[in-house]
Amino acid sequence: MIGFVVFSLRRAWQGFWRNALMSLAATATMVLMLLLLAGFWIIQTGLLSALDFTESKVQVQVNMNVDTSPEAITALGETIKALPGVAGVTLVTREEALARFQQNMKDLGREDLSKYLDKNPFPASYEIKLTDPSYAAPVAAALQPNLNPAVHNVLDTKETAKNVKTVTDIMRTAGSVILVVIGVIVLFIIINTIRLAVVARSEEIEIMRLVGASDAFIRWPFVFEGAMVGLLGAAITLGGLALLADPIGGFMVDFFRVLPLSFGSLARDLVLIVTSAGLGLGVLGSWLSVRTYLIR
Amino acid sequence: MTLAPASTAATRSIRERLLRRGQGRSAADRAILILHDVTKTYPNGKTALRDVDLVIPEGDFVFLVGPSGAGKSTIIKLLIRDEVATSGQVVLDGLDLAKLPRRAVPKVRRKIGIVFQDFKLLPTKSVWENVAFALEVTGSPRRKIRPAVDRVLALVGLTAQRAQIPSQLSGGEQQRTAIARALVHDPRLIIADEPTGNLDPLISWEIIQLLLRINELGVTVMMATHDADVVTALRKRVVALEEGRVIRDEVGGAYHRAD
């Protein structure tokens, strides 16, 4: 058994270097495909975290009547906190609301119209963060004015929440489908490239068959060779990505702005995906390529 | 002595007795190879062999003659179980090849050594490595490979050329390397497919002498050839094929039918 493994590894190593040009072509193809896969994964991760971020922005805003007493405001706050699906509640006082308006106008370069008012027209409000956008409808329903006298109106974000959720779901599904499609295309290209390397050695395989080599002795050297191509391709791809990490990271921060992207986990995922995809494609590619040469 | 055509009752009974013995794997004089009413039709509809009956006792030396396309290569393919007979039985050393599980095929192939017209040597390996390759890829332990390879190289007279690669050898030396490789498994049967086809007459005789010597050591030899001089001169058993049928099977025969 150990003899068999040593034999197969030695033959894989010899095979790789004897036909160095073909092996390098297969490795280069592998690198290109893995870069494509990694690039798509990076974009997909960015988009999904952008969507997560948007999702987390979905919230319910409750405007209170202007004349609500501080006690009633506090009481309403307690009521909201007790509702299911509420992650957090922020009170925006009438003064804060006015200050925000003034700041907004200043940012936009418009005249501050509030100076013509003799009193603050803004109501106090609660901004409610939800644990999940799907809670928007029940939370809004529970805070309607007819149930809570302090409430003037509830800002309707049900539709927004629904839209964002639809987009997120489509993105996730489409992303997975595209990933699978790319995987299959990559597999076909890799199989073809490795098949060329196998065909180049068909004479050797024929002799092996004629002298009575078992399928395992014919197959495994090629499978190990495919694994070598895959792992080498993965190493080169990861090396390239590591060199590009800083510009890519900068671009992603620029592009997606303040997203809570965790680069640590993205890098870990990429190492895992690129290595396993390289290894898996190399092994599967050689396995399928060499199959035609085995005993019928 | 002439073997009667396959259809007579006497031959049939001898053949069937040998067939039984082969399956029982008991008798010392059993047949190494039995083809029993073998027909082979390829998927494209071409029938390469029709009702072929052939019994080759252990230790025999048989010439397989006939024009191209007569079915010689198909017989060889059936023997190494590259193909399976459409009907009839192919029994090698007591094993019915059609009933052989896929996994057992490599082991059966090790009972056969094959020599080709074009040698089929690996160009980047030395003589010694080419011969050792046959043992390596069948999982022989290294300590057994060295003495076995040295022994067969001595037998074919290539000990001095052991380190050379095929392109440095003459055609005859290349074919002797291929014969050494075929022998290294201690096969029961050597199949030589036009082994002298690429060699000049003098070298051809060298190769024939070598095959005869191997035959004297007890290995059955089956040689497909177009070389009329060799066949006629040696007066060994001759099996002639034409259009997939055995048209002649005689011991001491010439290449052409003696009319």
ipTM of the shown complex: 0.80
Q: Kindly list the residues from chain B whose CB atom is less than 8 angstroms away from the CB atom of residue A17.
A: none
CA distance A252 to A242: 15
Check residue A196 and report its DSSP letter.
H
- pLDDT, tens digit, 9 for 90 and up, residues B184-230: 999 999 999 999 988 898 899 999 999 999 999 999 999 999 888 88
The verdict on residue B88 lying in a domain is yes
CA distance A58 to A163: 11
Query: For residues B68 and B19, is the Cβ–Cβ distance under 8 A?
Result: no
CA–chain centroid gap for B42, Å, is 22
- Could you tell me if A4 lies within 8 Å of chain B, comparing CB atoms? yes
Residue (of B107, B43, B138, B169) closest to A208 by Cα position: B138
User: Do A203 and B102 make contact, defined as CB atoms within 8 angstroms?
Assistant: no
Q: Kindly list the residues from chain B whose CB atom is less than 8 angstroms away from the CB atom of residue A293.
A: none
Question: Rg of chain B over CA atoms, in angstroms?
Answer: 18
CA distance A28 to B121: 31
pLDDT at position B18: 52
Check residue A216 and report its DSSP letter.
H
Query: For residues B224 and B64, is the Cβ–Cβ distance under 8 A?
Result: yes
Tens-of-pLDDT digits for all 296 residues of chain A? 777 888 888 888 888 887 788 888 888 888 988 888 888 888 777 777 777 766 666 678 888 888 888 888 888 888 888 888 888 888 888 888 888 888 877 777 777 777 777 788 888 888 888 887 778 778 888 888 888 788 888 876 656 666 767 777 787 788 788 878 877 887 787 788 778 877 878 888 889 988 999 888 888 988 998 899 899 999 999 999 888 877 777 776 666 555 555 566 778 888 998 999 999 988 988 888 888 777 65
The verdict on residue B91 lying in a domain is yes
A220 CA: distance to closest CA in chain B (Å)? 11
The verdict on residue B51 lying in a domain is yes
Into how many domains does chain B fold? 1
Residue (of A22, A85, A87, A89) closest to A61 by Cα position: A89
According to DSSP, the residues that pair with A151 across neighbouring strands are: A64
A residues 210-229 closer than 8 Å to B (CB): 210-215, 217-218
pLDDT at position A268: 85
The verdict on residue B83 lying in a domain is yes
Query: What count of Cα atoms within 13 Å lies in the side-chain half-sphere of residue B250?
Result: 15
Q: Kindly list the residues from chain A whose CB atom is less than 8 angstroms away from the CB atom of residue B132.
A: none
- pLDDT, tens digit, 9 for 90 and up, residues A211-227: 999 888 888 988 998 89
Query: For residues B207 and B176, is the Cβ–Cβ distance under 8 A?
Result: yes
Cβ atoms within 10 Å, residue A149: 11
A211 CA: distance to closest CA in chain B (Å)? 6
pLDDT at position B4: 40
Query: What count of Cα atoms within 13 Å lies in the side-chain half-sphere of residue B255?
Result: 13
- H/E run at residue A88: strand A86-92
CA–chain centroid gap for A136, Å, is 25
The verdict on residue B246 lying in a domain is yes
- Could you tell me if A295 lies within 8 Å of chain B, comparing CB atoms? yes
CATH number at residue B241: 3.40.50.300
The verdict on residue B48 lying in a domain is yes
pLDDT at position B177: 96
Q: Kindly list the residues from chain B whose CB atom is less than 8 angstroms away from the CB atom of residue A212.
A: 106-110, 112, 134, 138, 185
The verdict on residue B73 lying in a domain is yes
Neighbour-count burial for A260-289, b at 16+ CB within 10 Å, e otherwise: ebeeeebeeebeebbbebbbbbbbbbbbbb
Provide DSSP, chain B: -BPPPTTSHHHHHHHHHHHHHHHHT--TT-EEEEEEEEEEE-TTS-EEEEEEEEEEETT-EEEEE--TTSSHHHHHHHHTTSS--SEEEEEETTEEGGG--GGGHHHHHTTEEEEETT----TTS-HHHHHHHHHHTTT--HHHHHHHHHHHHHHHT-GGGTT--GGGS-HHHHHHHHHHHHHTT--SEEEEESTTTTS-HHHHHHHHHHHHHHHHTT-EEEEE---HHHHHHHT-EEEEEETTEEEEEETT--SS---
Pick from B112, B124, B138: CB nearest A217: B138
- Domains (range + CATH), chain A: 2-54+163-291 (no CATH), 59-156 (3.30.70.3040)
The verdict on residue B3 lying in a domain is yes
CA–chain centroid gap for B175, Å, is 15
Pick from A3, A203, A212: CB nearest B106: A212
Structural domain that includes position B11: 1-17+31-110+233-251
